[in-house]
Amino acid sequence: MNGVWIVTGIAFAFSVLLTILTTLFSKKEIEEEDIIKHLPGYNCGVCGFGSCSGMAKAILEDPRNYEKCRPMRKKEKEAFQKYLEEKGLWK
Ligand code: SF4
Q: For ligand 1, atom 4, which residue shows the shortest CA distance?
A: 44
pLDDT tens digits along 75-85: 999 999 999 88
**Measured CA distances, 83 to 7, 10, 12, 63, 88 (Å):** 44, 40, 36, 11, 9
Give how far the C-alpha of residue 84 lies from the chain's centroid of Cα atoms, to the nearest Å: 10
Model confidence pTM above 0.75: no
Q: Please identify, by atom number, the ligand 1 atom nearest to the C-alpha of residue 48.
A: 6
Tell how far the Cα of 27 is from the centroid of ligand 1, in angstroms. Answer: 23
**pLDDT bracket for residue 30 (50, 70, 90):** low
Using CA positions, which residue lies closest to atom 7 of ligand 1? 52
| Ligand 1 atom at minimal distance to the Cα of residue 72 | 2
